[in-house]
Amino acid sequence: MTWRTHLAIGANAVWLTSFTKNPDQSLLVFLPVAMLASLLPDIDAAGDGAKIHYVGGGVLSNFKGIFTGRYFHHRGIMHSVFVSLIFFLIVYLINFFYLNNIYPLLPYVFFLSYISHPLIDGFNTSVGYLYPFNRKKIALFPKLMLSPVKGFTDKILFVIGAFGILLFFLMFAYYYLL
């Protein structure tokens, strides 16, 4: 998927706040965190492969040369369930020990947004979900049904994601600001 589609879909992790009784200013933290988490997996898109796309138009090209090798390549370990869980744990510990647990939902928002990225990449092509335990890359649909980056599914998901965020803030305004 293109980075804007990841961003639009991943940002919807803020819907998790609707499970809490009174969403407050924590949304000001959750939204940017969700946006960052949705783009983070593609830090590996700075490898030496043929079809390389750089997140946000080249910001991450600074990491060129790091993400090459058996596990470190595009849609490799950074797109795995394993690394998603590691990040969950890191954010959990940061919230617990450094932020005095003032954002209990933070690790879940981060995780949901992060894992949404490899999940929708699986509509485009095969992804290293099981890295580092299994190096087989898996697509979520049969090859014939996969849609390319910038293809139909990509565009539809962007619209769904953008609409989801709009709906979230409309409802947020309706319930808490009016």
Measured distance CA(159)–CA(32) in Å, rounded: 19
Q: Which of 14, 42, 46, 110 is close enough to bind Zn ion by CB under 5 A? A: 42
Q: Which is nearer to Zn ion, 121 or 154 (CB)?
A: 121
* CA nearest neighbour of 108 among 125, 123, 124, 92: 92
Measured distance CA(90)–CA(74) in Å, rounded: 22
Instruction: Give min distance, CB of 170 to Zn ion, in A.
Output: 29
Instruction: Give min distance, CB of 99 to Zn ion, in A.
Output: 28
Q: Which of 46, 73, 106, 121 is close enough to bind Zn ion by CB under 5 A? A: 121
Instruction: Give min distance, CB of 116 to Zn ion, in A.
Output: 11
Read off the DSSP letter of residue 94. I
Measured distance CA(38)–CA(117) in Å, rounded: 6
Q: Which is nearer to Zn ion, 42 or 154 (CB)?
A: 42
Which residues contact Zn ion (rule: CB under 5 A)?
42, 121
